[in-house]
Amino acid sequence: MADADDQLGGQLGAIAARLTDIAGCVASEAEAATAVMRGTTEQAHRIAQLAAALAEAAAAIEEGARRQTETLAHARATLAINKPVIDALTRSAEGVASISVTVSDIARESQMLSLNARIEAARSGDAGGAFAVVAAEMSALSGRTKLATDDIRSKQKSDLDYLCH
């Protein structure tokens, strides 16, 4: 029986050695699994932080878009309120421009008429002296009219340049 006991002791020793090897492998695998779990946990934390940052960025973008929408709505409302005034000013400016052209045409025709009157006064000699004075006054008046219409055009141009820039 001693032989059987020795044989059984040898088998139990082999089983114990094998179990120790298996326990070592299990411990090694458990350490590897723990390391993987730590890495996964760290990755999950980083992903959570990125998701929080992304949510903040999305909220900021949404707030910016909301403000832009409000600003555009306000601008649209302001333009709608001011549109009748702008339209009236446009019509008024067009009317002034039209009148300015007409006055300029009248001034040009007056200058021509004044020139013709001076020519006729010169032909009439001494008898045309009074006529020459009237022609000279008419020429001065048409010159002042031309200066006034040029001034109106200049002011309209500078006003238009100001509004466009």
Sign of CA dihedral 47, 52, 53, 55: positive
Residues 44-103 have pLDDT tens digits of 999 999 999 999 999 999 999 999 999 999 999 998 998 988 888 888 888 888 888 888
Write the CA distances from 105 to 73, 102, 109, integer angstroms. 46, 5, 6
pTM greater than 0.85: no
- For 118, the token pair is 């001076």
Closest CA to 106 of 151, 142, 144, 137: 142
Contact present, 149 and 104 (Cβ < 8 Å): yes
